[in-house]
C-alpha cells in the first residue's frame, strides 16, 4: 500500500540530510540504500529529530511500491546494477537524477537536478537547478519550493531551468565560477600576506570588514573565519598549517572544456583550474624549489591601508569578470541547444543555498532584467562603470609599474628582467610599462584588464601566468 509522496535512493551524508529536509517540510518520504544499515540509520535520525515521516525499506520492490503513483524517486548514486534494478521496478515513475553528472547524461524522461554535496545545504535548504521534463518538474514543484533555500527578498532558490541537460549544465558552470571565485580570494590573501605583510589577526579584520559591503558573500565570510582558528593540535593558526595541495571532482574541468568547445573565453576559470593542476604536483614543486632558488622578497615600504583598499577594489572587479565568464558559457550553450535560459533567474536562485551566494547577484539579476540579450555582463552600464572606477586600483595591485616597485618581477617563461623608469612630472596614475601594458588580478592571475600605452592610442590586454595556491583553493 502506497504511503508516501516521494522516495529517495542513496543514503550517504547528502541523501540522509535531504530526506530529513523533505520530511521536515511535511512530505512523507520512503528511503532505500543497498547497504541496509544506512536505511536504519536514516530512520533513526528522523525519530531523533521529532518523529519525522521517513520510512525505510531494505528491498527495491517494497521501496518502489510504497510510493504513490505517478511515483517520484530521487536517485543519488552512480549508475549501476542497483540503478537498473530500481528503474525496472519503477513503471510510471518520474525520476530525479541527482549527483555530480555531466549535463549530457540527462534523458528526456528524467528530471536532472544536482543536489548539494555537503550536509548543511541538503539539510537546511539548497539552491536547486532542475532541468529536463517540465511535466515532471510541475508535479513536484510544491516539494522543491519548500525544500530549497529561502531568501527573504527573492523567494525559494529553485526554478525550472530548461529542457534536456540544462539544469546539470548550469550547475556545472556554477561550480566553474566557484573555482574562479575561490582562486581570486586566495590571490587577494596572497597579496595581503606576502606584500602587505598582514598578520592573521589583521587578515581576519580585513575580510570581516569586506564582508559588510559589496564583497558580502559566503566565501568572504568563511575566509574571515579561518584566520581566527587556532591549531588545536599545536601552536599557531590553522591556516598556516594547511597543505598547499588540492584536488578536484571534475566540474571545473568540464566547464573549461565546454568553454573551449563553445569558443568562449574564460581566463579566470581556466587559470583557477591550472592552479589546481599545479597544486596537485606537490612533490614536483618541492624538487623544483631546489633548482629555482633565490630571494624574491622586497623590503620596500608599502602603504598598508592603500594596499588593502586597492586589493578590495581589484578583487571585486575580478569577481565580476569570473561571473561574467560563467554567464557567457551558459548563454553560448543555451543558444547552441535552444534552451532559452533566463540568466537573471539563475542569478536569483544562486543567492542562497550554494557556495557562490553573494550580495551582488542581486545586481547581476537586475542587469539581465534590464537587457535579457546582454552580450556580456561587463558591458551593462552599471557594471561597466564599476570596472572603470576600479581600474586604477586594480592596476596598482598587479602592475609592476606601481610607483614603489622599480624592478619588474621575472615573468615565468621569460629570461629577462627589466626596470621601469618612473614617469616625470605629476601623474594621476602609475606609469605604464611598455612590456606588460598593465596587469591582472592578482599577483599572478590570468584575468584580462585593459591597459593604455603611453600614447594612449592603443588598448592592449595583459596576461601573466598564475602560480600561487592559498587557503581556499583546497576543495
Q: DSSP letter string over 209-271?
A: HHTTTTT-BHHHHHHHHHTT-B-TTSSSBGGGGS-S-----SHHHHHHHHHHHTT---HHHHH
CATH number reported for the structural domain that contains residue 291 in this entry: 1.10.1040.10
Where residue 116 falls among pLDDT bands split at 50, 70, 90? low
130, 230: one domain: no
pLDDT above 90 for 55: yes
93, 222: one domain: no
Choose one of 138, 163, 188: the last residue of a domain. Answer: 163
pLDDT above 90 for 79: no
**Residue 30 forms part of a structural domain:** yes
Q: How far apart are CA 445 and CA 340, in angstroms?
A: 33
Residue 452 exposed, middle or buried by CB count within 10 Å (0-12, 13-18, 19+): middle
Q: How far apart are CA 323 and CA 313, in angstroms?
A: 16
Choose one of 340, 363, 389: the last residue of a domain. Answer: 389
Determine how many CB atoms are found less than 10 A away from the CB of residue 293.
6
270, 378: one domain: yes
Grid coordinates representing 244 are: 598547499
**Residue 443 forms part of a structural domain:** no
Region 189-197: mean pLDDT is 91
Run of H or E residues at 55: strand 54-57
**What was the pLDDT predicted at 69?**
84
Of 24, 178, 187, 447, the active-site residue reads 178
Of 38, 163, 171, 351, the active-site residue reads 171
- The mean-pLDDT minimum among 189-198, 355-364, 409-418 falls in 409-418
277, 318: one domain: yes
Residues 6+ apart with CB under 8 A from 265: 259, 325, 328, 448
Q: Which domain holds residue 361?
A: 174-389
With contact defined as beta carbons under 8 Å apart, do 96 and 74 qualify?
yes
Choose one of 120, 139, 163: the last residue of a domain. Answer: 163
277, 307: one domain: yes
The domain total for the chain is: 2
Q: How far apart are CA 67 and CA 62, in angstroms?
A: 9
| CA 279 to chain CA centroid, nearest Å | 18
* Rg, C-alpha atoms of the chain: 25
pLDDT above 50 for 449: no
Residue % of the chain over a pLDDT of 70: 75
Where residue 455 falls among pLDDT bands split at 50, 70, 90? very low
Higher pLDDT, 284 or 90: 284
Tens of pLDDT along 254-308? 999 999 999 999 999 999 999 999 999 999 999 998 898 877 666 778 899 999 9
**Residue 396 forms part of a structural domain:** no
CATH number reported for the structural domain that contains residue 17 in this entry: 3.40.50.720
**Residue 78 forms part of a structural domain:** yes
68, 141: one domain: yes
**What was the pLDDT predicted at 413?**
32
**What was the pLDDT predicted at 464?**
32
Higher pLDDT, 173 or 195: 173
**Residue 228 forms part of a structural domain:** yes
pTM score, whole prediction: 0.79
**What was the pLDDT predicted at 177?**
96
**What was the pLDDT predicted at 6?**
94
153, 280: one domain: no
**What was the pLDDT predicted at 194?**
87
**Residue 447 forms part of a structural domain:** no
Q: In the annotation, is 171 catalytic?
A: yes
**What was the pLDDT predicted at 433?**
36
With contact defined as beta carbons under 8 Å apart, do 269 and 176 qualify?
yes
Region 113-125: mean pLDDT is 78
Angstrom distances, CA of residue 359 to CA of 119, 151, 352: 23, 11, 10
pLDDT above 80 for 186: yes
What b-and-e string marks burial along 455-469, b requiring 16 or more CB atoms within 10 Å of the CB? eeeeeeebbbebbbb
**Residue 178 forms part of a structural domain:** yes
Region 2-26: mean pLDDT is 92
**What was the pLDDT predicted at 296?**
65
**Residue 307 forms part of a structural domain:** yes
Specify which residues 460 forms β-bridges with.
Answer: 451
376, 334: one domain: yes
Residue 165 exposed, middle or buried by CB count within 10 Å (0-12, 13-18, 19+): buried
Region 88-116: mean pLDDT is 55
Q: In the annotation, is 253 catalytic?
A: no
**What was the pLDDT predicted at 360?**
92
140, 226: one domain: no
Determine how β-strand 71-75 pairs with β-strand 54-57. unpaired
268, 128: one domain: no
pLDDT above 80 for 401: no
**What was the pLDDT predicted at 422?**
34
293, 377: one domain: yes
Tens of pLDDT along 196-235? 999 999 999 999 999 999 999 999 999 999 999 999 898 9
22, 137: one domain: yes
Amino acid at each position: 500500500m502506497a504511503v508516501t509522496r516521494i522516495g529517495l535512493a542513496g543514503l550517504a551524508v547528502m541523501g540522509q540530510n535531504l530526506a530529513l529536509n523533505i520530511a521536515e517540510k511535511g512530505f512523507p518520504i520512503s528511503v532505500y540504500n543497498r547497504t541496509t544499515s544506512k536505511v536504519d540509520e536514516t530512520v533513526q535520525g528522523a525519530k531523533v529529530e521529532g518523529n519525522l515521516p521517513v520510512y525505510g525499506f531494505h528491498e527495491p520492490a517494497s521501496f518502489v511500491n510504497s510510493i504513490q503513483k505517478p511515483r517520484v524517486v530521487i536517485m543519488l548514486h552512480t549508475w549501476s546494477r542497483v540503478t537498473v534494478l530500481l528503474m525496472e521496478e519503477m513503471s510510471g515513475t518520474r525520476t530525479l537524477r541527482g549527483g555530480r553528472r555531466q549535463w549530457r547524461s540527462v534523458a528526456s524522461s528524467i528530471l536532472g537536478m544536482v543536489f548539494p554535496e555537503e550536509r548543511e545545504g541538503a539539510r537546511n535548504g539548497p539552491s536547486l537547478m532542475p532541468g529536463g521534463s517540465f511535466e515532471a518538474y510541475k508535479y513536484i514543484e510544491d516539494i522543491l519550493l519548500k525544500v530549497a533555500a529561502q531568501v527573504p527578498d527573492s523567494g525559494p532558490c529553485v526554478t525550472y531551468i530548461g529542457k534536456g541537460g540544462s539544469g546539470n549544465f548550469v550547475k556545472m558552470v556554477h561550480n566553474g565560477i566557484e573555482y574562479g571565485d575561490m582562486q581570486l580570494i586566495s590571490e587577494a590573501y596572497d597579496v595581503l600576506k606576502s606584500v602587505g605583510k598582514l598578520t592573521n589577526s589583521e587578515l581576519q579584520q580585513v575580510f570581516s570588514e569586506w564582508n559588510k559591503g559589496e564583497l558580502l558573500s559566503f566565501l568572504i565570510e568563511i575566509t574571515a573565519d579561518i584566520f581566527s582558528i587556532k591549531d588545536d593540535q599545536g601552536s599557531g593558526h590553522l591556516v598556516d598549517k594547511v597543505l598547499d595541495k588540492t584536488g578536484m571532482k571534475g566540474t571545473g574541468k568540464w566547464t573549461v572544456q565546454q568553454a573551449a568547445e563553445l569558443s568562449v573565453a574564460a581566463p579566470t576559470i581556466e587559470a583557477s583550474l591550472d592552479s589546481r593542476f599545479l597544486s596537485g604536483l606537490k612533490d614536483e614543486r618541492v624538487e623544483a624549489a631546489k633548482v629555482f632558488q633565490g630571494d624574491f622578497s622586497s623590503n620596500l615600504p608599502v602603504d598598508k591601508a592603500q594596499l588593502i583598499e586597492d586589493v578590495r577594489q581589484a578583487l571585486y572587479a575580478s569577481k565580476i569578470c569570473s561571473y561574467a565568464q560563467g554567464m557567457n558559457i551558459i548563454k553560448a550553450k543555451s543558444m547552441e541547444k535552444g534552451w532559452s535560459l533566463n540568466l537573471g533567474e539563475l542569478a536569483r536562485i544562486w543567492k542562497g543555498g550554494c557556495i557562490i551566494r553573494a550580495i551582488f547577484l542581486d545586481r547581476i539579476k537586475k542587469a539581465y532584467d534590464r537587457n535579457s540579450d546582454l552580450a556580456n555582463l561587463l558591458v551593462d552600464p552599471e557594471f561597466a562603470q564599476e570596472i572603470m572606477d576600479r581600474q586604477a586600483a586594480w592596476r596598482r595591485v598587479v602592475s609592476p609599474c606601481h610607483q614603489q616597485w622599480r624592478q619588474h618581477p621575472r615573468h615565468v617563461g621569460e629570461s629577462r628582467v627589466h626596470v621601469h623608469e618612473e614617469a616625470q612630472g605629476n601623474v594621476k596614475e602609475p606609469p605604464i610599462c611598455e612590456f606588460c601594458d598593465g596587469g591582472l588580478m592578482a599577483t599572478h592571475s590570468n584575468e584580462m584588464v585593459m591597459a593604455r600605452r603611453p600614447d594612449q592610442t592603443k588598448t592592449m590586454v595583459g596576461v601573466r601566468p598564475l602560480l600561487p595556491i592559498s587557503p581556499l583553493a583546497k576543495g
